[in-house]
Amino acid sequence: MTSKPDAILMHPIGYVHNSVREKKDSFWGDDTSVIRLHEEYHGGLLGLEGFSHATVLVYLDKARYQRDKHLQRHPRDREDMPLTGIFAQRTKDRPNQIGMTAVEILAVDKASLTVRGLDAIDGTPVLDIKPYFPAFDRRDARTPEWTDRLMENYF
């Protein structure tokens, strides 16, 4: 291992504003959220209106990763799910607690972005916004059998 700075410092580029006060486990598709950017990033959304979707990275500040509970667990604590490592799950209680969602773009202006489908509660800090390129999709990707059962009622 080469010597590396072990601590990484980040700052929110803005915050999520919506009417969601509590985390939900399942369907988020209908929620509308506004991401208001810090003033120093005003203008940074120029051209995003040409994209239909964006990937939003947020800091899940209410999540708490505890090694003994979360390093390996049964997804959603369901007995019928296999014991699974934290990096083989999308659950929020994870190291560095970064949330990642592809959202639909509804409106773009100098200081804010309005989206549909962001799975983050009101007040969540935003780390990054990236335009969505379907060319980077992995359409041939395979997932294990248990994920089908987990997501049965998701959509």
Give the residue from 89, 95, 61 showing the smallest Cα distance to 73.
89
- Residue 95's identity, in one-letter code, is P
Give the residue from 12, 27, 23 showing the smallest Cα distance to 120.
23
Distance separating alpha carbons of residues 68 and 84, to the nearest angstrom: 13
Question: Minimum Å distance from CB 24 to a second copy?
Answer: 16
Q: Which is nearer to a second copy, 23 or 90 (CB)?
A: 90
| Sites for a second copy among residues 47-76 (CB under 8 A) | 47-48, 50-55, 57, 59, 61, 67, 71-72
- Contact letters for a second copy, residues 8-47 (x by CB under 8 A): xxxxxx-x--------------------x---xx-xxxxx
Which one of 34, 62, 63, 84 is in contact with a second copy (CB under 8 A)? 84
* Count, residues near a second copy per rule CB under 8 A: 76
85 sits near a second copy (criterion: CB under 8 A): yes
Question: Minimum Å distance from CB 93 to a second copy?
Answer: 12
Q: Which is nearer to a second copy, 77 or 140 (CB)?
A: 140
Question: Minimum Å distance from CB 20 to a second copy?
Answer: 15
Distance separating alpha carbons of residues 68 and 153, to the nearest angstrom: 29
- The answer to whether residues 119 and 70 touch, using CB atoms and an 8 Å cutoff, is no
Question: Minimum Å distance from CB 125 to a second copy?
Answer: 6
Let me know if 11 is exposed, middle or buried by CB neighbors in 10 A (0-12, 13-18, 19+): exposed
- The answer to whether residues 18 and 31 touch, using CB atoms and an 8 Å cutoff, is yes
Let me know if 58 is exposed, middle or buried by CB neighbors in 10 A (0-12, 13-18, 19+): buried
| Sites for a second copy among residues 91-150 (CB under 8 A) | 94-96, 98, 100, 102, 104, 113, 123, 125, 127-145, 147
